[in-house]
Amino acid sequence: MRAPRLILPWVVWGVGAIAYAIAIINRSSLAALGPAAQDHFAIDATTLATFPVIQLIVYAGLQIPVGMLLDRLGPTTLILCGGLLMTVGQVLMATVHEVWLAVLARVLVGAGDACTFISVMRLLPEWFAVRQLPTVSQVTALTGQVGQLVSVTPLALLVGAAGWMPGFLGVASVGLLVTILAALVIRDRPGVGTAFERMTGRLGRRSRDARSLASAASGESTLMPPPATSMIEITQPAPTAAPRRAGFWSRFRRLLRIPGVRLAYWLHFTSPFASHAFLLLWGTPFLIGGVGLDAAAAGGLLSVMVVSSMAAGLLLGPLSSRFLERRVWIHFGITIAIMLTWTAVIVWPTTPPLWLLFVLVIVVPLGGPASMIAFEVTRSHTPVSFGGFATGVVNTGGFTSALLVILGIGLALDLQGAGSPEQYSLDAFRIAFAVQIPFWLLGLVYILVEQRRTKRWMDFHGRRLR
């Protein structure tokens, strides 16, 4: 029985990671289809930008509510709800021609996406040892990037060959199959049944005998002990507990009083938005309509971008685990490199050479894996009872900045009279992508401020990173 017990955590994680990859496919399904979407719905650049912007608004706006539900209902329930919402959204996207219905489809996709990532992240401390978490977290993000890779080239080829409706119905079908698999495999923690087992009322032997990799030998719980802190009081609930809705703002304020949580928010705010803006919408229009590459070359560069992100995830996991004291500075350096690379492309006096574009698609996607450091910082400073709530708060950072940047680029193009594929120009894209610079500067300043406050707080409370 010992070997199956040790394999089960990896099986649960594997299905959860696949569910996250499907969520990324759904999130990024317009990544290489911007011009096709403009033709399909007969829309300009600003309207096109509203698709991912509204999707990200829904995603970011639901992070805190989903985080609270996650602490109450568990990750399995939310992963299944997320999968069903995204399936319905993609079926709608496949079958409508009206813009407002397409927007509704992206709302459903954003809502389902919002349920998935933080739920998968919440599974990890239940099944893995603390030292394994940075690496497993990065590999989870890497698996998600496989979904990004699928949305960049195969989905675009499928839509080009079979048409808009078959392409999006295919995505919906795969998502539904993975949701069914999740209902049969994923367990919130050792000793708890799958969704199917809970519906039937029969707990299988594999679920009863499950052990995490943190406690396979002793059979003890894998929950991480909450850090000693005077900022959040850890108490046992009274027999006559207050209604569920009570205490939200109190919990929220108490959470944000911890400087490490604020630091994690700004880490997540600062590094990934450039990659999101490029991969989710504006990369293909920039490379084809701005730089003048053909569709095959643009798709190749986007694929290199995804592969770079995957490789970075493999490296950053062990690095952040080994150098806990320097992980914030690793993130800071990566963000500086992204900003300098984009600045070089923006100010280049002529058409950016291919080697510079290659550097761009290598460096910019490093921001995605770097943003995962934010969740390690969150875990270091947050009691486990606040785990889902805190993860939801921090996860709003990068998506808030991403939706503002995506919308800002679309508005900047339209204000220059370059809001459609026929009017795209390199100079217009240079000005539009300069919208990113204030966001980098704001985030970097606040990282420095909150890092100093976090260090003072830890020194005062005698805390060490974990």
pLDDT in tens, 41-51: 888 777 877 78
Structure tokens at 316: 């950053």
209 within a domain of the structure (yes/no): no
* DSSP state string for 358-420: HHHHHHGGGHHHHHTHHHHHHHHHS-GGGHHHHHHHHHHHHHHHHHHHHHHHHHHHHHTT--S
Q: Are 207 and 194 in contact (CB under 8 A)?
A: yes
186, 79 Cβ separation under 8 angstroms? yes
| Residue 202 included in any domain | no
Burial (CB count within 10 angstroms: exposed 0-12, middle 13-18, buried 19+), residue 421: middle
Chain-wide mean pLDDT for the chain?
Answer: 82
- Give the domain CATH number at 156: 1.20.1250.20
Answer yes or no: is pLDDT of 465 > 70: no
> Three-class SS of residue 192?
coil
**Which position has the higher pLDDT, 465 or 127?**
127
pLDDT above 70: residue 400: yes
Assigned domain for 87 exists: yes
Instruction: Decide if 235 is inside a domain.
Output: no
Residue 224 has pLDDT above 80, yes or no: no
237 in any annotated domain: no
In a domain, 144, yes or no: yes
Model confidence at 437: pLDDT above 90: yes
Q: Which is nearest to 89 in space by CA: 25, 41, 34?
A: 25
Q: Does 155 score more than 50 pLDDT?
A: yes
Give a yes or no: residue 236 inside a domain. Answer: no
**Could you tell me if residue 335 is inside a domain?**
yes
Higher pLDDT, 254 or 199: 199
Alpha-carbon gap, residue 69 to 389, rounded angstroms: 8
Separation between Cα atoms, residue 68 and residue 393, nearest integer Å: 10
Q: How many residues does the chain have?
A: 466
d(CA 351, CA 275): 21
Question: CA–CA separation, 184 vs 180, rounded Å?
Answer: 7
Ranking 71-85, 161-175, 321-335 by mean pLDDT, the lowest is 321-335
> What pLDDT shows up at residue 42?
80
Q: How far apart are CA 86 and CA 81, in angstroms?
A: 9
Helix (H, G, I), strand (E, B) or coil at 145: helix
The 10s digit of each residue's pLDDT in 337-379 is 999 999 999 999 999 999 999 999 999 999 988 988 888 888 7
Q: Is the pLDDT of residue 162 over 70?
A: yes
User: Considering its fold, how many domains does the chain have in total?
Assistant: 1
Of residues 75, 93, 67, 96, the one with CA closest to residue 19: 75
Domain that holds residue 46: 2-191+250-458
Per-residue model confidence (pLDDT) at position 461: 62
Q: Do 158 and 170 touch, CB atoms closer than 8 A?
A: yes
Residue 31: both structure tokens together? 């990544």
Mean pLDDT of 282-292: 88
C-beta of residue 309 within 8 angstroms of C-beta of residue 278:
no
pLDDT for the residue numbered 274: 93
